[in-house]
Amino acid sequence: MSSATEQFAANFNFGALARAGDLKARLKFTLLALLIYRAGTYIPLPGIDPQAWQDFFSQQAGSIFDMFNMFAGGALQRMSIFTMSIMPYITAAIIMQIMSHMVPFLDKIRREGPGGQQKITQYTRYLTIIFATVQAFALSTSLESMGGGSVVIDPGFFFRATTVITLVGATVFLMWIGEQITARGVGNGLSLIIFAGIVAELPRAVAGTLEMSLQGAIAPFLLLFIVVMVVAVMTFVVFMERAQRRLVVQYPKRQVSAGKMFEGTSNYLPLKLNPAGVIPPIFASALLLSPMTMVGLSGSDGSPILDALSRHLQHGSATFMILYALLIVFFCFFHTAIVHNPDDQADNMKRSGGFIPGIRPGPPTANYINFVMTRIIVIGSAYLVFVCLLPEFLLAKYGLPFYFGGTPLLIVVTVTIDTVAHIQSHLLAHQYEGLLKKTKLGGKRRT
């Protein structure tokens, strides 16, 4: 343990952090933005009777509401202005990513470089507003019929209009905060917002589990098993997220000038075992949670279709687990195909004179990289499916009310690793800038 702590302290230079003014400003901005988000989860939605809503929400314990409430940082339980969180934005981003590769018009825009990507982002924002409006209207109409009509104080057109405007505005505000964190803060703003909501709800979930153990609802050995499982899964996730498949790349000798030869070197091309990161579970959860939450809020009374959806897509059901696993595998392959292009990697390697031993440069190298990546993604997707479905099996078999395994734990660990990596990259950039300044000052003094 001490060696790991010493290694972390050596890699994470706290002295450099104290001297890096730009990084400190980015960290302060990120913390401020997340605090604003957390404060918004406590602002109640106008026109709601808090006690009546709490009574209705407590009756839904153990349903899909708990998972959505966790991703929303407890906003659903408090029925705050951030109840929908950023799920409409995630859904819009999924659809735009798929359409940008299937629709010729959008595919042409995507290939235009940064300008085209900016247009795609703008279209994603418009689509987010459409999805948020539809979901907010469905939520407003559902609230009027909940709890025998006691949840809404004064139902009617004015309540629906104010609810839609408030929820859509809050979703757009969260979308803007996420983009600002990505641009002016540290890490990915979208992931950090979800991360903040999960971490904020963690103490309440732990306290609830301990209370159930004290009341005898959970056996002591089962509580110990939960603790061991969380630690084991966290260690496994860290190991898998750091795992790489390294392809050896050789650079032959070549002449750079008269009488000077560039010695041949050997390097490697790192391919992560899970190149898609936490994106597949987030996307899969968004596609399953958003419609199912609307079904749960609508009550599904008198509708055989909604009743069947509510029955078969509950947490722990076989249909839910199968769809969840298929969506995770799909987004693993889809996201990797978008981000990592073997042809570009092979071309860059060829232009720099590098080659993989035993593989000819050009298309054969691209085919070999694609061959290796395909098998890597199979292992990576299987790992994600195992981690994300583990709590679902435990819920189906033991009825555990602990929703912070699987996807939430994966998000917390992955976002933490990614954020620390961003901080370290800023520290290295700051150290290089300081070294260049010292070099320039030394040169001026010698002249």
3-state helix/strand/coil string of 176-216:
HHHHHHHHHCCCCHHHHHHHHHHHHHHHHHHHHHHHHHHCC
Least confident of 31-45, 218-232, 416-430, 432-446: 432-446
Segments making up each domain of the chain, as ranges:
2-446
Please enumerate in sequence order all residues whose Cβ is within 8 A of that of 60, keeping only pairs 6 or more positions apart, or say none. 66, 296
Mean pLDDT confidence for 96-120: 84
| pLDDT tens digits, one per residue of 22-62 | 788 889 999 999 999 999 999 999 989 888 888 888 876 65
Q: Which of 261-270, 282-291, 336-345, 438-447 has the lowest mean pLDDT?
A: 438-447
Contacts 24+ apart (CB under 8 A), 151-157: 151/48, 151/49, 151/52, 151/53, 151/56, 152/47, 152/48, 152/49, 153/47, 153/48, 153/49, 154/47
- Which H/E stretch holds residue 359? none
Task: Give the span between the Cα atoms of 201 and 73, in whole angstroms.
Answer: 6
CA distances 342 to 13, 19, 20, 363, Å, are 35, 40, 37, 9
Whether the per-residue pLDDT at 155 is higher than 60: the answer is yes
Question: What φ, ψ does residue 244 adopt, rounded to 5°?
Answer: -140, 150
- Compare 66 and 28 and report the one with higher pLDDT: 28
Interval 126-149 mean pLDDT: 86
80-94, 99-113, 389-403: least confident range: 389-403
pLDDT at 169: 94
pLDDT tens string 199-214? 888 887 777 778 877 8
Distance CA 84, CA 73 (A): 10
Collect all residues with Cβ–Cβ distance below 8 Å to 123 and sequence separation of at least 6: 96, 106
The percent of residues in the chain predicted with pLDDT above 90, rounded, is 16
Model pLDDT, residue 8:
45
The tens digit of pLDDT for each residue in 371-391 reads 999 999 999 999 999 988 887
What average pLDDT does the structure give for the chain? 80
Alpha carbons 113 and 104: distance in angstroms, whole number: 16
Which architecture characterizes domain 2-446 according to CATH? Orthogonal Bundle (1.10)
- Which pLDDT score, from 0 to 100, does residue 129 have? 94
pLDDT of 254: 61
**Where is pLDDT greater, at 170 or 251?**
170
- H or E element that contains 155: none
How far is 24 from 140, CA to CA, in rounded Å?
Answer: 42
pLDDT at 10 exceeding the cut of 70? no
For 257, phi then psi, to 5°, come to -160, 180
pLDDT at 1 over 70: no
pTM for this entry:
0.77
Give the integer Cα–Cα distance in Å for 332 and 273: 11
Q: What torsion, rounded to 10 degrees, do the Cα atoms 322, 325, 328, 333 define?
A: -100
